[in-house]
Amino acid sequence: MKNRKLLMIPGPTPVLREIQDEMGRETVAFGDSHFVADFQQLIDDLKELWSCDGMAFVVAASGTFAMEMAVVNNLKQGDRLLIVSNGFFGDRFIEIAKKKGYEFDVISAPWGKVVSPEEVQAQLENREYDAVTVTHVDTSTGAVAPIREIGKVVNKYPDTLYIVDGVCSVAGEPVDMTKDHIDVLFSGSQKAFGVAPGLALLWAGKKSLARRETLPDVIEYYADYKKWAPVMDDTKKYFATPAVNMTWAMKKSVDIIKAEGLENRYERHKRNAQAMRAALEAMGFTLLADPSCRAVTLSNPIYPKGVEDLAFRSELERQGVQVAGGLGAYAGKMFRIGHMGNVDEHELAATVCAIEKTMHKLLPGYELGKGITAFLKSLCTE
């Protein structure tokens, strides 16, 4: 029998059976009183868990749509946007800003590093902005931005909204809208929430909801806060048909998060990430992200000399572990591995062992056991 395939890409992440079963439940009417109550509970929990003083939106769409929703309700054509980019997904804001006709400036970090709060501060002193976007974890690099410190900086400018892309962070990396002074946070179902892809999540703080009031009617329809706000305020109401089963799955994920406790969840992510990084380095990989800014949700290991990308990934897949390839300049030089959501130590240990076997096969003289030993030592020394 072949090994079961472990889904270790940085999203979709493995979906627990109890979450997946919510998808398999018989669909009901969106007006069904049980569904309405479940949906409302989900909205309330999302607001509370991430300290949102405004409104949470759960919409049938992808995280990419949430990016669009995050800007169009807070900026109008000609408004000034500061884009803080640490990689491929940070750069997506450039594409969107061009499409929307915002005036924008970009501060970029080299891949694997992150823009510092000081750089953001310098730029904000230099020019006025209506909003700043930061990608919390850019999956192209595995680097995590110092969102709390940047939040403190942006918070000094009361007319500047702080928008955080939490697609690859929320429910894995610590985020707190109040403590981090975030005005708009968004994410997707398929990363650290461990749900199948298909839902966009967005939290709008009071300041963002107030900003929407000052805008002329926004041209976007499905992305307009105002169309969804009555529903998110009272889930009996209708704008567009909610994705019933996806919403249930999301609620189950949040129930699991509440049972685990957010702080425990963050600790688990940190512990697992440290163990995985120790294993990868012991097996000869170099991590793209600088030690000062390594995300707990994924790692981006650069291959050691003698290991070829496609050979590695196809052999690893044959061993039953699926990882993702590198993006941009790192395509072919690096792979990307997720360790977020509801992935546990069993799956991580199995993954490290499969990488060991793959290296043994591909690299003559590779000494088996270094990676998994480093993994175990990391787990046992806290």
The only residue of 40, 62, 108, 155 in contact with its own copies, by rule CB under 8 A:
62
The closest alpha carbon to 195, from 65, 302, 294, 63, belongs to 63
Q: How far is the CB of 292 from its own copies (least distance, A)?
A: 29
Query: Which member of 3, 5, 18, 128 binds its own copies (CB under 8 A)?
Result: 5
Token pair for 19? 């979450």
Largest CA distance in the chain: 66
Question: Which of residues 133, 141, 245, 351 is near its own copies by CB under 8 A?
Answer: 245
What type of residue sits at position 185? L
- Name the minimum Å distance from CB 40 to its own copies: 18
Q: Which segments of the chain does DSSP mark as H helices, in order?
A: 17-24, 33-49, 63-72, 88-100, 117-126, 147-154, 206-214, 225-233, 244-260, 262-282, 309-318, 345-362, 370-380
Q: Tell whether residue 350 is a contact of its own copies (CB under 8 A).
A: no
Q: Which is nearer to its own copies, 61 or 257 (CB)?
A: 61
Q: Which is nearer to its own copies, 181 or 252 (CB)?
A: 252
Q: CA angle 146-150-153, nearest 5°?
A: 155
Q: How far is the CB of 129 from its own copies (least distance, A)?
A: 20
Instruction: Give CA–CA dist 90/114, Å, rounded.
Output: 11
Q: Which stretch binds its own copies (CB under 8 A): 12-20, 46-54, 106-114, 203-211?
A: 12-20
The answer for residues whose C-beta is within 8 angstroms of residue 122's C-beta and 6 or more apart is: none
Q: Which of 36, 196, 209, 229 forms a contact with its own copies (CB under 8 A)?
A: 196
Position 214 contacts its own copies (CB under 8 A): no
Query: In degrees rounded to 5, what are phi and psi of residue 154?
Result: -60, -35
- What binding mask, one character per residue, do residues 99-138 give for its own copies by CB under 8 A, x or -? xxx-------------------------------------
Report if residue 292 touches its own copies, rule: CB under 8 A: no
Q: Show contacts with its own copies in window 305-324 (CB under 8 A).
A: 322, 324
Q: Which residue from 52, 185, 201, 244 is in contact with its own copies, where contact means CB under 8 A?
A: 244
- Which of 39, 54, 68, 295 contacts its own copies by CB under 8 A? 68
Size (the chain), residues: 382
Q: What is the spatial distance between Cα 78 and Cα 181, in angstroms, rounded to a whole number? A: 25
Cross-strand partners of 163: 133, 184
- Contact between 301 and 337 (Cβ < 8 Å): yes
Residue from 42, 46, 81, 96 in contact with its own copies (CB under 8 A): 96
Q: How far is the CB of 336 from its own copies (least distance, A)?
A: 12
Q: Which of residues 218-237 bind its own copies (CB under 8 A)?
A: 218-224
Which has the closest alpha carbon to 203: 346, 20, 46? 46
- In the bound state with its own copies, the residue whose beta carbon lies nearer, of 146 and 341, is 341
C-alpha to C-alpha distance for 74 and 227, rounded to whole angstroms: 15
**Residue that the structure tokens 């403590």 belong to:** 179
Q: Which of 140, 114, 127 is nearest to 81 (CA)?
A: 127
Map residues 25-44 to x or -, x wherever contact with its own copies holds by CB under 8 A. Answer: xxxxxxxx------------
Does 83 bind its own copies (CB under 8 A)? Our answer is: no
Interface contacts to its own copies, rule CB under 8 A: 5, 7, 9, 11-12, 14-15, 20-21, 23-32, 60-65, 67-68, 95-96, 98-101, 188, 190, 196-199, 217-224, 239-246, 322, 324
